[in-house]
Structure 1
Amino acid sequence: MVTTMLTVSAPTIARAQDAAVDTGEIIVNARRESESLQDVPVSVQVVTGSNLQKLAITNVEEVSKLAPGLTLVSNGSSTAITLRGVTWQPGSGTPATPIYFNDAPFDPGNTITSLFDVGQIEVLRGPQGTTRGAPSISGAVTITTRRPDLEELGGYVQGLYGSGDHRDLQAAINVPIIKNVLAVRLATNIEDSDGTRVFSVNSSVKPKFKDRSYRATVLFNPTDTVSIVGMYQRRRTQSLVYSQVAGTGSPGLAALNIPANFNGPALSVKDQASVQDLPSEINQHVDLLTINATWEVFGHKLSYNYGNQMNTSPDSHNAVDPLNILPGFEAFASPGYIGKPKFRTHEIRISSMPDPDRPFEYDIGWFSKRSSGVQSFDSPTYLPGAFGSPISAVPGNITVPNDRYVLNSATRIQIGQVFDSFYGNIRLHPDDKTELSGGFAIIRDRIPVDVDIKTFAAFNAFTDPRLPSRALCPFAAPGAIASPVYTSGVVCEVGIPDGFRNATQANNDKYTAAIYNFSLSRKINDELLVYATTGSSFRTGLPALNNPGLPDDFVTPSPEKAKSYEVGVKATFGRAFRINASAFQLDYKNQLTAFEGINYFNTVSGRVAQTSLAFYRNIDARVRGFEVEIGARPIENLNLGANISYSKIKSRGGQVPCNDGVLPTEGDPIHFCSSAKGQVLNALAPFQATVNGSYDLPITDAIGGYFRFNVNYQGKNPNFGNFRQTDGSFREAKSYALVDLFAGLAGSGGAWDLGFYAKNVFNQKVELSRIATFNSVYPSFAAASGYDVVRSTRPRELGVTLRYAFGSR
């Protein structure tokens, strides 16, 4: 939301916004043209680059502090976006909430990371797809970087240092090459920190987040009717991440000589600790190229938007033993890419320009996305015998596995998407105060997928108390021999040949769908607008990546269909008070719903595993909610704002994957339970709110002081997606509030700024999610782990910021 009723400078949208600088208007591009926020019959929240700087926000996860109901989690394959209660994660399919970067909808997992030199962020709520190429029902987020200034040399440099060794340096310089024709803007972000600040009690390796991003933008306006903007961004990010756990630690198992707490001590959520021996290493090397061109000709505007995502990321190393079942040794799965993935978008759009003699405007367009790549998942399975004799093996005695008893597998998933959208819109103006608009889009979507799983030879050691000697091993199992590795006691082994669990799957699903959007708005007077909208959406599901050995029938969910209904009001009372409110309902058929932590029979390892964040199934559901945004300036220099969001998802009834206390088998690979009609499906709190404000205190004509605050409240959650118990039931997530404070001195005109901040002032350490994880890494050590994998709020951060700017900034 916007924390001020004063000018909001957003030079990244269009020249029309410059005219708004002296009027106090908030200019948005929600409908692909510059309009006053209060005149747009759409629920929109705006976060400007100035807002980000004032609240020391350097990563996208903190944007939710200004836009409740929107939650962004940037964490590689665990990236998540939630808007209006609906959550998207990699592997669920086409993003439910597309992230547009300079009007190109890129892969969110490679886009939402650090924020720097941003002009404006708009959170668009409600159906998209007939005005933007990528369909969605809950909304979209547009991030627009700052465009070059054609007239004035300028730039800035700002630095931040905070708790957790958080260091962030941002800088930009704007250079007009040919005044009013050609300009260049160069920007960079250099950031280092201790990441999530979850440390391991069993490792001296610190968590880490390291980001190096560089951006060059060129603006070319050869005539008054032609504009071309090209942006190239290079980002190199490295993260070392530990999985946080909570629990008593293992109780041990005396019958197998396994001591208590062999995997670590008792830990609570407030300890914010892990027990891993080594962290996961996530590397991202991603370049983005965008081109935005417009030509005004014959009363129309012809637009072309191009996006190219170039991913050259090296293999990551995902630790798969968060419970430390194998003390002294860390097991890794290694996801990566074979070759260079391709991701390109094109959009061509022609729009009529306003004409006072024509009571309507229209636009038509074509959007295309082409993506392809081969993802690899190399994941070893540790069989009995890998860490010692099945007779006497004790956790931690052996820390280097015997390769003879390691089953290696290689999963290759060739996945692509060929997506086209043909759309058109028309806006009718029966009179000066009424607008009726409608849009249609035809979607064609093809998802070619080829899965190839190869397993390699290994041996599985075992003991049989019925055998008096090793010579009788062949009588215990077909093909069994005496173990050549373990000669003490009767230890046998059975060979697993190459390709024993090979599997292939090929899909080439093709879909065609039509979606629509209609809106009716009426300006009662200059200060009051009411509107009603309805729309539909269609979203395809993608294969569940990072779920090795998932049975074929559960790899790809069915497409999702949805309809939306919304009414809203926007009211302005002079320059001192503004209130926007909306109420909505979303009806889902086959909603793509995440089911993390579900037990399933892994067809590769031949034993039970748990689903990752990217496991989705379908369920019919309904979302109902409302949103309220308030901005006020009760006295001079005091600005207050509040945002309230409520979205509750309820099941319409059906069967969903569940943990029912009985482990799956090869013949019954996943268990299902009834989802009662009315069951709450929210992964996050239905009720969320923020309150923020600022007070500016003039000291002299050249210096002023300021104080700012932000309070982010998360309500209770009944709770479907988080806090899953071992019996499959759920428990309520508690409500909490995080308070951020800011104070400092600033020079006249914003030439310099020295600030101090405290985020999460009261150091709230609140449990956000919990997955009851069992020992699937090495079941031979049969003792209970005593831990659950959890996620919690980040601890308090205290810091200082310094900024200097000149010229056009």
Structure 2
Amino acid sequence: MDHKKTLYSLFLTSALTSALPALATAQTAPPATPQAASSSIDDIVVTARRESEVLQDIPVSVQVVTGDRLQKLAITSVEEVSKLAPGLTLVNGGTTTSVTLRGVTWQPASGTPATPIYFNEVPFDPGNTIVSLFDVGQIEVLRGPQGTTRGAPSISGAVTIATRKPDVDQFGGYVQGLYGSGRHSDVQGAVNVPIIDGVLAVRLAANIEDSRANRITSVNSAIKPKFKDRTYRASLLFKPTDTLSIQAMYQRRKSYTRTFTQVAGPGSPGFAGFPGALPAIPANYNGPELTPGDRRAVQDLPDLSPQHIDLLTVNANWEVFGHNISVNYGRQFNRSGQQFNTYDYLNIVPGFEKPATFGNVGIPKFETREIRLSSLADPDRPFDYDIGWFSKHSNGIQYFDAPTYLSGAFGSPATAAPGDLVTPNPRYVLNSLTTIHLEQVFDSFYGNVRLHIGDRTELSGGLAIVRDRVQTDLDIQTDAAFNAFSNPALPSTAFCPFAVPGAIASPVYTAGVVCEVGLPAGIGNAVQNNNDRYTAALYNFSFSHKITDDLLVYATTGSSFRTGLPAINNPGLPEDLVTPAPEKAKSYEIGVKSSFGRHLTVNADVFQIDYGNQLTTFEGVSYYNTSTLQTSQTSYAFYRNVDARVRGFEVEISARPIDNLTLGVNASYSKIKSKGGLIPANPGGCEGAGPVGPENPINLCPSTKGQVLNTQPPFQATVNGGYEMPFTDALAGYFRFNVNFKGKNPNFGNFKSGTEFRSTPSFAIVDLFAGLTGNAGVWDLGVYAKNVFDKKNELSRVATINSIYTNFAAPAGYDVVRTTLPREIGVTLRYAFGSR
């Protein structure tokens, strides 16, 4: 869908605003004032403990983002929820997708998610839920242990996303559009239709989004980045009685992402060369000096990622014999096509870009089931309880097809300079195919008991027994190839066998003394089989007491257990570094929730998490790859264990000092410190850490006690608010703002310069919104500006080596970086009617 069609959709929405006022008036109760904010703070109902409760009455740290708030702040991506929930960082980046909460980061291929993302009570793969947001009822950010209430283990917390439920009583719906900078357009809407009044209803929703993706362009390509998303959702609600309800949802999402990998640095310094042995390479041959603020890449071609993901959820609840039986079922269908990952993002070979390809063999299986029995509240019983079983079964086969370019692939090793040859000679290309079969069967049996001591005190405890079985089969097959080399010290090619046993004269390069060594088929073959089985017991206890009706204090403690996956995309690693040990953790938290009348609430907590064998990613570490006989760098899937401790606090303040004015302040601090141990490091990372090779496949350096391990800023905060000014009984104006502050980021793991990591400075992003609204939100016309001051701040950096063609000896001069999104200015329009 191009931007002209998007504008047409917005104009159509405007036409609907004019054409349907009678229908809206007939189906919407007339408001006393237009969108007038109450002078008091409304009670927020959450389902953090799997039942509807008032937020201020539960001993759990929860932050809520309503669907209405998402619309008011023009948020169309789950990634942007991070702006509203300090300490939560969501990155939607395909293989670089990540979830961080309370300082703990999870990435794909690292094993069981550290912070599960629930979609309609189903913990799907986070990479398939951190996507477009539309027709959402509520998002809850749950902090702290979750393993004994939700089945899936988690020590730092979880995120729940609930789509809007069908309304069995009233017809209605909405349509809204957005158009902003970077050709960002988003048109979404929904219609709710009762089929049998009070019994059966269907809700149909859709989202159409286009943009320039991350808006990173390449200095060596005219191709523009692109993001295209088409998502369609159908929900059905069946309520034959007041005690039985069944809700089913099917969502189909097709997206296409075309992006470049951002780099920063001075560019290549060049190489003087050695006559007859290695050619001279000019400075900046691969690109100019670039800063993070330039938001540029140097690739010749972009990465291409087509995705087709279908999600199915079924939620059933039946109240019978004083209990509630709930069943939650989820199924993920990954029909995505072949993806192309161009890995010459340092532009080592200008004018050439051969992507690695990867994809699924067939449709992977991802299925979850949960059955839960809960007692209904009974005033004659001083306790409540629930028991449940949760299961996840995933199974799939992936393939990676990635060539290795040996010496001679891009010209004579004696004379060829970068760019001389852009079509590699296949004789010097080592082709390999990696096939990975991964299967996980996870089961959790859990139970919880809550004891009510009077009307103000609650003591609760839970226990879960988890069983995790992870099977991984990896098969690497390599073809035959030749590796060329030049030696000006030899009088002729006839002496090649004396230089290297088995060497012959190159039949391709006859100028100078160029020899080559044959690599037989299968030289890099490898087979890896893991069949790991784990069992663990988890617990969670909490104590809470309401000192007054408006003051609650609580203390909780809990444990967690999480398995990691073998380093499936790091071929050639030493066997003892392939599979990390399981992670164990214990959490302690003390909190307070307070209300000062109906105008101010203040919630705060302090916490500590002790990790044994914390799963920590070490991307970008040099190691000797026995499959290619060259130096490689570890991928995001390389995890090792570090004993660590996290300490931090969270504060949330909500206020309505006067009518129509709302203010909020949220702050989060979490710092991870090592308890000591050995960690992988690059050459120079510590004393004795030298070049890698057959005798030293990877460097291991001591992690000193107290070393900060954060990959995200320990301190984060948001300040937000809004003011609505009624003009008439049917018209009001509004102004809203959101300021997202991120403190200094230690950026652990970027391996920038020896033992010192390159930290990034603090910064703040300001978003502003203004507009007109009428008839209690029936329509809304607004403008917005995100990142008003166009902050160009670095978020992360990974020092990157030349691993595509090592024959070119000049350093690349670039690091891979990620920065803030550029400023976006746009307009929004919304119209709703009936049941919204």
TM-score bracket, normalised by the shorter chain, equals over 0.9
Q: What do residues 360-403 of structure 1 show as CA deviations (whole Å, max 9, x unaligned)? A: 00000000000011111111100001000111111011111111
Paired residue for 1:756, among 776, 783, 799?
A: 783
Identity within the alignment, %: 69
8 Å CA contact 2:210, 2:227 repeated in 1: yes
User: 2:560 corresponds to which letter in structure 1?
Assistant: S
Give the match for residue 780 of structure 1: 807
**Rounded Cα–Cα distance in structure 1 between residues aligned with 2:698 and 2:183:** 44
- Mapped pair 1:351 → 2:374: yes
Question: TM (normalized to structure 1)?
Answer: 0.96
Whole-Å separation in 2 of the counterparts to 1:68 and 1:23: 21
Aligned twin of 1:268: 291
Residue type matched to 2:425 in 1? N
Offset, 1:23? 8.6
Match of 2:452, SS state, is strand
**Structure 1 counterpart SS, 2:363:** strand
Q: Post-superposition shift, 1:86?
A: 0.4
Aligned to 1:62, the other structure's residue is in SS state: helix
Q: Measure how far apart 1:574 and its partner are.
A: 1.6
Decide which of 489, 513, 533 is 1:466's aligned counterpart. 489
| Equivalence for 1:440 | 463
1:150 maps to 168
Q: Could you say which residue in structure 1 is the equivalent of 2:128?
A: 110
**Residue 679 (structure 1) aligned with residue 679 (structure 2):** no
Equivalent position of 1:278 in the other structure: 301
Instruction: State how 1:593-742 maps to structure 2 within 5 Å.
Output: 593-661=616-684, 662-722=690-750, 724-742=751-769
The one-letter amino acid of 1:213's match is: T
Q: Deviations over 1:731-758 (max 9, x none)?
A: 3321100000000001121111111000
**1:457 equivalenced with 2:456 (yes/no):** no
Read off the aligned partner of 2:396 and give its amino acid letter. Answer: G
* CA contact 2:226–2:257 (8 Å) conserved in 1: yes
C-alpha separation between the residues in 2 aligned to 1:282 and 1:74? 13
Q: Is the contact between residue 235 and residue 286 of structure 1 (CA under 8 Å) also seen in structure 2?
A: yes
Partner residue in 1 for 2:523:
500
Pick the aligned partner of 1:131 from 149, 168, 174.
Answer: 149
Contact 2:40–2:598 (CA<8 Å) still a contact in 1? no
State the match for 2:610 in structure 1.
Answer: 587
- 2:809 is paired with a residue of what secondary structure? coil
CA pair 651-446 structure 1, distance change in 2 beyond 3 A: same
Deviations 1:395-425 (A, max 9, x none): 0111111111000111111111010000000
Q: Which amino acid aligns with 2:706?
A: G
Match of 1:562 among 585, 589, 592: 585
Q: Give a deviation string over 1:506-533, Cα, whole Å, max 9, x none.
A: 1111000000000000011111110000
Secondary structure class of the residue paired with 2:134: coil
Match of 1:41 among 59, 64, 67: 59
Are the aligned partners of 2:40 and 2:599 in contact in 1 as well (CA < 8 Å)? no
Q: Which residue pairs with 1:3 in the alignment?
A: none
Structure 1 residue 465, shift from structure 2 partner = 2.2
Contact between 1:592 and 1:619, CA under 8 Å: does it hold in 2? yes
> Aligned partners of 1:93 and 1:308: how far apart in 2?
19
Secondary structure of 1:64's counterpart equals helix
1:178-197 residue CA offsets vs partner (Å, 9 max, x unmatched): 01100000011111100111
Q: CA deviation at 1:331?
A: 2.9
8 Å CA contact retained: 1:680, 1:719: no
User: Could you tell me whether the CA contact under 8 Å between 1:660 and 1:728 is conserved in 2?
Assistant: no
- Using the size of structure 2 for normalisation, the TM-score is 0.93
2:796 aligned with 1:769, yes or no?
Answer: yes
- Cα gap change, 1:679/1:340 in structure 2, threshold over 3 Å: closer, same or farther? same
**1:241 to 2:264 alignment:** no
Q: Distance in 2 between matches of 1:21 and 1:166?
A: 36
Partner residue in 2 for 1:573:
596
Unaligned runs of 5+ in 1: 1-19
1:325-474 equivalences under 5 Å are: 325-474=348-497
Write out aligned runs for 1:455-534 (5 A): 455-534=478-557
Instruction: Give per-residue Cα distances to partners, 1:44-77, cap 9 Å, x unaligned.
Output: 0000111110000011111011100000001111
**Alignment partner, residue 5 of structure 1:** none
Distance 1:604 1:693 in 2: 56
Q: Give distance in 1, aligned partners of 2:507 and 2:562.
A: 55
Alignment of 1:285-304 (within 5 A): 285-304=308-327
The reply on whether 1:192 has 2:219 as its aligned counterpart is no
Q: For residues 508-561 of structure 1, what are the alpha-carbon distances to aligned partners after superposition, in whole Å with 9 as ceiling and x for unaligned?
A: 110000000000000111111100000000000112233233333222211000
Shift of 1:21: 15
Task: Report if aligned partners of 1:551, 1:602 keep a CA contact under 8 Å in 2.
Answer: no
Q: Tell me the amino acid that sits aligned with residue 417 of structure 1.
A: Q
Maintained 8 Å contact 2:41/2:599: no
Q: How many aligned residue pairs are there?
A: 789
Q: Does 1:789 align with 2:820?
A: no
Distance 1:529 1:477 in 2: 77
Give how far 1:670 is off. Answer: 1.2
Deviations 1:688-734 (A, max 9, x none): 00000000011111111000000000111334234x31424213321
Give secondary structure in 1 for the equivalent of 2:64: strand
Distance 1:483 1:66 in 2: 62
In the alignment, is residue 220 of structure 1 matched against residue 243 of structure 2?
Answer: no
Q: Distance in 2 between matches of 1:22 and 1:185?
A: 32
User: 2: CA distance between counterparts of 1:543 and 1:803?
Assistant: 48
| 3-state secondary structure, aligned to 1:521 | strand
* SS across alignment from 1:230: strand
Q: CA deviation at 1:110?
A: 1.6
CA distance in 2, matches of 1:705, 1:614: 49
Amino acid at match of 2:81: V
* SS in structure 1 at match of 2:109: coil
Q: Which amino acid aligns with 2:352?
A: F
Deviations 1:258-283 (A, max 9, x none): 11111011111111100000111112
For residues 763 and 713 of structure 2, the distance between their equivalents in structure 1, rounded to whole angstroms, comes to 10
Q: Distance in 2 between matches of 1:303 and 1:663?
A: 57
- 2:331 matched residue in structure 1: 308
What whole-Å deviation, never above 9, does each CA across 1:201-237 have from its counterpart, x for those lacking one? 0001111111111100000011111100000001111
Give the aligned residue type for 1:65: K
Coordinate RMSD, CA, aligned: 1.3
SS in 1 for 2:643: strand
- The equivalent residue for 1:745 is 772
Gaps of at least 5 residues in structure 2 are: 1-37, 274-278, 685-689
CA contact 1:47–1:122 (8 Å) conserved in 2: yes
- Counterpart in the other structure of 2:183: 165
User: For residues 726 and 99 of structure 1, what CA distance do their matches in structure 2 show?
Assistant: 35
What is the SS of the residue equivalent to 1:52?
helix
The code of the aligned residue for 1:262 comes to Y
